[in-house]
């Protein structure tokens, strides 16, 4: 297996691609964990009307944007990405909520 280098240590495109591929595997694992929390929320929430929580969505996006700024990343870009991620999670949670109560 190829050693995964930090981005600043890469000197070839093969090293860059190996790092990107490993990072993508880690992101997918983290997304699986996040969706697991959506499973838990669907199980715990007492009513379908509380699946969508706009105040919580705004709070999460604000935290992500602050974290992005702290890391020198484009906060608006990360905010848009998280908006899409959260909408996907909400749709998933609705489906899981309905499935559990069918």
Q: What is the pLDDT of residues 3-14, one digit of tens each?
A: 899 999 999 999
CB contact at 8 A, 57 and 15: no
Question: Mean pLDDT score of the chain, rounded to an integer?
Answer: 97
pLDDT in tens, 19-40: 999 999 999 999 999 999 999 9
- Give the total residue count for the chain: 102
Task: Report if pTM > 0.85.
Answer: yes
Contacts of 69 (CB under 8 A, 6+ apart): 75
What's the CATH code, domain 11-100? 1.20.59.10
At residue 76, φ and ψ (nearest 5 deg) are -70, -40
Q: Which residues of 25-38 are buried (b: 16+ CB within 10 A; e: fewer)?
A: eeeeeeeeeeeeeb
| Token pair for 99 | 């499935």
pLDDT of residue 1: 59
- The CA distance from 79 to 102, in Å, is 34
Tens digit of each residue's pLDDT (9 = 90 or more) over 43-96: 999 999 999 999 999 999 999 999 999 999 999 999 999 999 999 999 999 999
Q: Which of 38, 41, 36, 78 is nearest to 61 (CA)?
A: 78
The closest of 62, 45, 65, 57 to 84, measured between CA atoms, is 57
């Amino acid at each position: 297996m190829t050693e995964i280098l930090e981005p600043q240590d890469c000197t070839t495109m093969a090293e860059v691609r190996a790092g990107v591929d490993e990072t993508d595997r880690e992101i997918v694992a983290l997304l699986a964990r996040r969706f697991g929390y959506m499973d838990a929320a669907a199980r715990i929430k007492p009513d379908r009307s509380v699946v969508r929580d706009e105040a919580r969505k705004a709070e999460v996006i604000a935290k992500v944007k602050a974290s992005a700024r702290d890391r020198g990343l484009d906060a608006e870009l990360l905010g848009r990405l998280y908006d899409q991620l959260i909408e996907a999670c909400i749709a998933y949670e609705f489906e899981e909520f309905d499935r559990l109560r069918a």
